[in-house]
């Protein structure tokens, strides 16, 4: 029996009106949050940055909730079924170190300058050309990522509920559009907190039921014939490992360039930290998110391994591995719980899509429309432009959702995008923050060159494998650094007075005021790094 027929037969046995009712209640609830918050959206800062008034536990969970999209749930499950527990590298080296760095070093720069977006920061540090180029690239990047969340959600409904791909895409678009237009970033953030709990409560029983069924971790290892599927670093001195990637590209391609490029420069997540009530809360935001991120190294990875154990050769191909998580839910969850599990997946996709859309509308309004089209409009006008941009962003995301059909797996698609759009940007940020000699045209030239390298090398090879994406990201970063340094050495830098607050060494270092020792950013950072090291050693 084929995978699709098997999944649909399982669902036909388990699903009842209760499952549909649970999904319906979720829809009503998220729309209600948007409606309640609508009356509080009086200014553009309320809409785009929540008035910078939210407590750190809210922004911390939203910081992670915005990241819990298609890649996190469907993509990581598919990756685990294809590559084994090495997929956890995307958490334990490909996330945690960068989240600590952004909390301790990047957030103070963003928060002190009170910029509305990453392109806004680039304008202050470099020039208008750098800001404009990045704003356009970032807007395209957000639309492409929003589309993959739509596609993943549609895939789940097609497999489990028998809905058409097109109908599922338009449904997800309509729901996200409604609550983001109504409540802006606050609506998105509060829904992301709700979605975080839904996703976690949906995956925890799935992992527990699955591990009990296969006989625990030892039974899982026995049922999967490849022992390398349970090691993260073994045999990475050569390509003789499930990733077929050597440790150098895992550490520098993924752990440094792709990871730091995403967490430090992707405004989708940075925006959540900037909505916090003060600097201490803003710095705690990524660190609070880092602890459950560690947990997701198990919750998002093990369902793929469990599905591989139960289904075996039927998900041997990468394309079929995309179905690993929904298969496990259909296999293990009874009536009622299946609806809850579907709601958890639905929350993941809507969370990622809403985050992409809110980041898109902010960058479009402040860094494209206000900068180049209408500089002197009223605040109310920009608020309305942001809402119109949300509608346009969702409609364009529907188009980009179909691009995912051309890639083997969800994770491959997302990694190609990260390598092209974020890896060069990280080079631009790194030099701009720590080398005052970096010039405006140096930054612009390096960003264009690095991005161009990523696009051209991908179009030449069309290789979307994980190893190729890690290597492409690393060399795009190197190209950006080299060109930026070369051009900066022959062009005029900004005077120091214009760089104060933007460059390390020219910025007054104010320690975040936090009386409780257990809330201090450095304490949280050391703790989460220690746990990360322990996990890497345990699964070596």
Judged on CB neighbours under 10 Å (0-12, 13-18, 19+), 336 is middle
The two three-digit tokens of residue 310, written as one number: 């139960």
Length of the chain: 540
pLDDT at 47: 46
What's the angle, vertex CA 458, arms to CA 238 and CA 455, rounded to 5? 130
pLDDT in tens, 397-426: 888 888 777 776 777 788 888 889 889 999
Domains of the chain, start order: 3-506 (1.20.1730.10)
227 vs 193: CA distance, rounded Å: 37
Q: For residue 54, which phi and psi values (nearest 5 degrees)?
A: -90, 145
pLDDT of 223 strictly over 60:
yes
Q: Tell me the whole-structure pTM to 2 decimals.
A: 0.80
pLDDT at 50: 46
Question: For a pLDDT cut of 70, what percent of the chain falls above it?
Answer: 79
341 vs 333: CA distance, rounded Å: 8
Q: Of 126-140, 179-193, 425-439, which gets the smallest average pLDDT? A: 179-193
pLDDT of 9 strictly over 60:
no
User: pLDDT higher for 65 or 522?
Assistant: 522
pLDDT of 12 strictly over 60:
no
Of 217-226, 474-483, 511-520, which one has max mean pLDDT?
A: 474-483
pLDDT at 531: 92
pLDDT at 294: 87
Number of C-alpha atoms within 13 angstroms, CB side, residue 379? 8
DSSP state of 491: S
pLDDT in tens, 273-321: 777 677 777 888 888 888 888 888 888 888 888 888 877 655 555 456 6
User: pLDDT higher for 474 or 48?
Assistant: 474
Res. 476 pLDDT band, cuts 50 70 90: very high
271 vs 324: CA distance, rounded Å: 32
pLDDT in tens, 149-196: 778 777 776 765 667 778 877 877 777 677 666 655 455 566 667 777
pLDDT of 51 strictly over 50:
no
Mean of pLDDT values over 481-497: 94
111 vs 117: CA distance, rounded Å: 11
pLDDT in tens, 274-285: 776 777 778 888
16 vs 339: CA distance, rounded Å: 9
Mean of pLDDT values over 388-393: 84
- State how far Cα 203 lies from the chain centre: 18
User: Please, what is the average pLDDT of the chain?
Assistant: 79
User: CA torsion angle for 500, 504, 508, 514 (degrees, to 10)?
Assistant: 140
């Amino acid at each position: 029996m084929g995978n699709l027929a098997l999944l649909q037969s399982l669902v036909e046995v388990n699903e009842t009106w209760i499952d549909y009712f649970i999904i319906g209640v979720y829809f009503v609830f998220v729309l209600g949050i948007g409606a309640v918050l609508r009356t509080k959206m009086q200014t553009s800062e309320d809409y785009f940055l929540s008035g910078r008034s939210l407590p750190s536990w809210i922004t911390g969970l939203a910081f992670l909730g915005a990241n819990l999209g298609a890649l996190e749930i469907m993509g990581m499950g598919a990756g685990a079924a294809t590559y084994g527990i090495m997929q956890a590298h995307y958490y334990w080296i490909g996330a945690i170190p960068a989240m600590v760095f952004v909390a301790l070093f990047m957030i103070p720069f963003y928060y002190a300058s009170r910029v509305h977006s990453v392109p806004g920061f680039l304008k202050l540090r470099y020039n208008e050309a750098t800001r404009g180029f990045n704003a356009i690239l970032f807007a395209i990047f957000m639309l492409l990522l929003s589309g993959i969340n739509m596609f993943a959600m549609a895939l789940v409904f097609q497999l489990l509920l028998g809905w058409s791909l097109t109908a599922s895409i338009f449904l997800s678009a309509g729901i996200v559009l409604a609550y983001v237009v109504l409540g802006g970033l606050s609506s998105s953030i509060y829904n992301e907190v709700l979605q975080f709990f839904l996703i976690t409560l949906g995956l925890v029983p799935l992992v527990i039921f699955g591990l009990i069924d296969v006989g625990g971790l030892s039974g899982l290892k026995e049922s999967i014939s490849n022992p390398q599927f349970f090691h993260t670093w073994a045999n990475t001195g050569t390509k003789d490992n499930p990733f077929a990637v050597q440790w150098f590209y895992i550490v520098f391609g993924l752990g440094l360039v792709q990871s730091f490029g995403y967490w430090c420069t992707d405004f989708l997540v940075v925006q959540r930290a900037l909505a916090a009530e003060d600097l201490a809360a803003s710095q705690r935001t990524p660190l609070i998110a880092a602890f459950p991120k560690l947990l997701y190294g198990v919750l998002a990875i093990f369902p793929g391994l469990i599905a591989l154990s139960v289904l075996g050769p039927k998900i041997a191909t990468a394309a079929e591995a995309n179905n690993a998580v929904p298969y496990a839910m259909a296999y293990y969850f009874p009536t009622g719980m299946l609806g809850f599990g579907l709601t958890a997946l639905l929350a993941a996709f809507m969370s990622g899509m809403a985050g992409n859309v809110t980041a898109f509308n902010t960058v479009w309004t402040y860094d494209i429309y206000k900068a180049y089209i209408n500089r002197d409009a009223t605040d109310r006008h920009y608020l309305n432009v942001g809402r119109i941009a949300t509608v346009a962003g969702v409609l364009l995301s529907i188009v980009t959702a179909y691009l995912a059909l051309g890639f083997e797996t969800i994770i491959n698609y997302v990694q190609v995008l990260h390598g092209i759009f974020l890896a060069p940007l990280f080079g631009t940020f790194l030099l701009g923050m720590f080398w005052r000699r970096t010039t405006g045209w140096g930054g612009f030239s390096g960003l264009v060159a690095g991005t161009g390298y990523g696009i051209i090398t991908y179009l030449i090879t069309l290789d979307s494998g994980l190893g190729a994406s890690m290597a492409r990201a690393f060399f795009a970063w190197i190209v950006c650094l080299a060109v930026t340094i070369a051009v900066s050495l022959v062009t005029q830098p900004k005077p120091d007075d214009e760089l104060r607050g933007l460059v390390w060494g020219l910025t007054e270092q104010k320690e975040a005021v936090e009386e409780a020792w257990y809330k201090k950013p450095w304490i949280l950072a050391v703790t989460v790094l220690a746990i990360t090291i322990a996990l890497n050693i345990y699964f070596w």
